[in-house]
């Protein structure tokens, strides 16, 4: 039996995870949030007191990192060295650390091989930055989501507040998003790019429900 992959790429806050989750639930396939893996690497660096730009220290750290992904009732859990860090990786600060370490080729190689291993023998939808370009270049469907930076910051702030981060401001979130946009799109190793065969959807002024409908209609066509 042939299995298929669906790639959802785009910058942070473009709606990737909500949409990929929605598509996965509709089609009854596995959803894999690849950003969570880079977040776990970034969190480990922060916890170890490592400078997230220090390639030598991060490479050393990656020697004995253990990242596991499990799914319970459709929710993804991320385990770092035996500890469930699913909540911790969403806290402010971790996103920039994740972006920093994700620019390092040895971090990417380890995570990409884990993503392919988890996807083996399954139909799966993955969201990230390099799914259509690198992880699964032969994915059956490829989507590239974009949205205005201010709108993305607004969404991210609402999400953070919902998760209990009350002291974070709009300006901080916008700064974080602009920093990552720049770094994720200009790094040498698998930068964020829209591949030629991806369908681009601008989610700035359409609702999640509307975008989900659009994705599903492409898939059903």
Which residues sit at the interface with ligand DC, rule CB under 6 A? 12, 34-35, 38-39, 95, 98-99, 102, 128-130, 180, 184
Q: What minimum distance in Å lies between the beta carbon of 19 and ligand DC?
A: 12
What is the dihedral angle through the alpha carbons of 182, 204, 111, 102, rounded to the nearest 10 degrees?
20
Q: What minimum distance in Å lies between the beta carbon of 30 and ligand DC?
A: 16
d(CA 195, CA 141): 12
Contact assessment for residue 201 and residue 211, using Cβ atoms and an 8 Å cutoff? yes
Residue number, 17 or 212, with CB nearest to ligand DC: 17
Residue number, 15 or 128, with CB nearest to ligand DC: 128
Residue number, 142 or 180, with CB nearest to ligand DC: 180
Residue number, 99 or 119, with CB nearest to ligand DC: 99
Q: What minimum distance in Å lies between the beta carbon of 216 and ligand DC?
A: 22
Continuous segment of H or E residues that includes residue 79: strand 75-80
d(CA 181, CA 163): 23
Q: What minimum distance in Å lies between the beta carbon of 32 and ligand DC?
A: 10
What is the dihedral angle through the alpha carbons of 122, 136, 155, 91, rounded to the nearest 10 degrees?
80
Q: What minimum distance in Å lies between the beta carbon of 130 and ligand DC?
A: 5
Residue number, 52 or 102, with CB nearest to ligand DC: 102
Contacts (Cβ under 8 Å, ≥6 apart) of 165: 91, 92
């Amino acid at each position: 039996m042939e299995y298929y992959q669906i790639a959802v790429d785009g910058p942070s806050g473009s709606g990737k995870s909500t949409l990929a989750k929605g598509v996965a639930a509709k089609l009854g396939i596995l959803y894999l949030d690849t950003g969570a893996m880079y977040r776990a690497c970034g969190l480990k660096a922060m916890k170890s007191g490592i400078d997230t730009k220090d390639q030598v220290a991060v490479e050393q750290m990656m020697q004995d990192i253990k990242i596991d992904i499990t799914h319970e009732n459709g929710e993804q859990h991320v385990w770092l060295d035996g500890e469930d860090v699913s909540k911790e990786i969403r806290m402010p600060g971790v996103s920039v650390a994740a972006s920093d370490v994700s620019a390092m080729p040895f971090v990417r190689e380890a995570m990409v091989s884990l993503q392919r291993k988890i996807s083996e023998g399954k139909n799966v939808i993955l969201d990230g930055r390099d799914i259509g370009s690198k992880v699964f270049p032969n994915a059956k469907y490829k989507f590239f989501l974009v949205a205005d930076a201010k709108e993305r910051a607004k969404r991210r702030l609402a999400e953070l507040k919902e998760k209990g981060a009350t002291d974070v401001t709009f300006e901080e979130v916008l700064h974080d998003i602009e920093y990552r946009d720049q770094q994720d799109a200009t790094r040498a190793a698998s930068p964020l790019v829209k591949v030629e065969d991806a369908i681009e959807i601008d989610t700035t002024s359409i609702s999640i429900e509307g975008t989900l409908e659009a994705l599903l209609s492409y898939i059903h066509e």
